C-alpha cells in the first residue's frame, strides 16, 4: 500500500514533479516493493491531486525503468534489474573517484569537520539500528564530498543514474554488519581527504563503490 501518512506533504496544487519525487523515494526505500501494484486513482486520492500529475509521474518512472506499465492491465513496481545496477555502479565510480581527487585538493578544515560529523551521526544511527537514517547519511556524506569539490551540479546529474543502484543499496544496508562496513569505508575515504592523498582517497572510494558488486553475487539469496 502507498504510505498515506504523509498525505499532507503534497499540496493540492502539487505538480507531477512532486508526485514523481515521492513515488521514486517510496520505490527506492522499499515502501513500494517490487511487483507491487500502483493504482493511479488511489495515489491521486491520498495526495488530494488530480490523476493527471500522477499519470505523468508514472510515465517518467516508467522511462527510468522503475515501474512497468501494462496497458489495460495495470502498473507494477519494477523488479530490481541487475544489469541496470551494474551500469549505474560503473558510471557512479567514474564520476565519484574523480570528484574525490578534486576534493583532496580543495578540502578545508571546515569540510573535513563536516564530513567527520556526518560519520559520527551515521555511526550513532547504526547503533540505534535506524537503517533508514544510515542510508540517508550515506547520501549526505557523498553529497558533501561533491560540495567540497565544488561540483554539486555533477551530483544532481548523477541522481537519476543512481536510482536502480540505490534500490539495492537500501536493501543491503539492512544486512548484518553492512552498516559497520559502510562506515569503516567512509572513514578510510575521510582519512585520505584529510591527508590530501589523492591516490589513497581514490583507492578507498573505488573499494567502497565496488562493494556493491560483491553484494550482487548474493542478491536473491538474502532477505529483501
* Cα–Cα distance for residue pair 38/58, rounded to 1 Å: 9
pLDDT score, position 89: 94
pTM of the model: 0.81
Give the pLDDT band of residue 219 (cuts 50, 70, 90): low
Kindly state the helix (H) or strand (E) to which residue 47 belongs, with its residue range.
Answer: helix 40-47
The DSSP output letter for 107 is -
**150 backbone φψ class: left, alpha, beta (φ>0; ψ -120 to 50):** left
pLDDT > 80? residue 3: no
When the pLDDT of each residue in the chain is averaged and rounded to a whole number, the result is 88
Q: Is 99 helix (H, G, I), strand (E, B) or coil?
A: helix
> Helix 198-218 to helix 82-106 angle, to the nearest 10 degrees?
160
Delineate the domains of the chain, giving CATH numbers in brackets: 4-77 (1.10.10.10), 82-218 (1.20.120.530)
Give the pLDDT band of residue 113 (cuts 50, 70, 90): very high
pLDDT digits (tens, 9 = 90+) for 52-108: 999 999 999 999 999 999 988 899 999 998 899 999 999 999 999 999 999 999 999
Compute φ and ψ for 142, nearest 5 degrees. Answer: -65, -40
Amino acid at each position: 500500500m502507498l504510505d498515506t501518512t504523509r498525505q499532507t506533504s503534497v499540496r493540492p496544487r502539487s505538480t507531477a514533479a512532486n508526485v514523481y519525487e515521492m513515488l521514486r523515494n517510496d520505490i527506492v526505500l522499499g515502501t513500494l516493493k517490487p511487483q507491487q501494484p500502483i493504482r493511479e486513482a488511489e495515489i491521486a486520492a491520498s495526495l488530494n491531486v488530480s490523476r493527471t500529475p500522477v499519470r505523468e509521474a508514472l510515465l517518467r518512472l516508467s522511462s527510468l525503468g522503475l515501474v512497468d506499465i501494462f496497458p489495460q492491465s495495470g502498473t507494477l513496481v519494477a523488479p530490481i534489474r541487475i544489469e541496470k545496477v551494474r551500469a549505474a555502479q560503473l558510471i557512479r565510480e567514474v564520476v565519484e573517484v574523480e570528484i574525490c581527487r578534486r576534493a583532496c585538493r580543495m578540502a578545508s578544515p571546515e569540510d573535513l569537520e563536516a564530513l567527520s560529523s556526518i560519520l559520527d551521526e551515521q555511526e550513532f544511527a547504526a547503533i540505534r539500528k535506524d537503517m533508514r537514517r544510515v542510508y540517508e547519511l550515506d547520501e549526505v556524506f557523498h553529497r558533501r564530498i561533491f560540495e567540497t569539490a565544488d561540483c554539486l551540479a555533477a551530483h544532481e546529474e548523477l541522481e537519476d543514474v543512481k536510482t536502480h543502484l540505490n534500490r539495492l543499496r537500501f536493501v543491503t544496508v539492512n544486512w548484518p554488519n553492512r552498516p559497520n562496513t559502510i562506515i569503516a569505508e567512509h572513514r578510510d575515504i575521510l582519512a585520505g581527504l584529510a591527508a590530501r592523498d589523492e591516490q589513497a582517497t581514490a583507492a578507498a572510494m573505488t573499494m567502497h563503490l565496488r562493494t556493491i558488486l560483491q553484494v550482487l553475487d548474493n542478491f536473491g539469496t538474502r532477505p529483501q
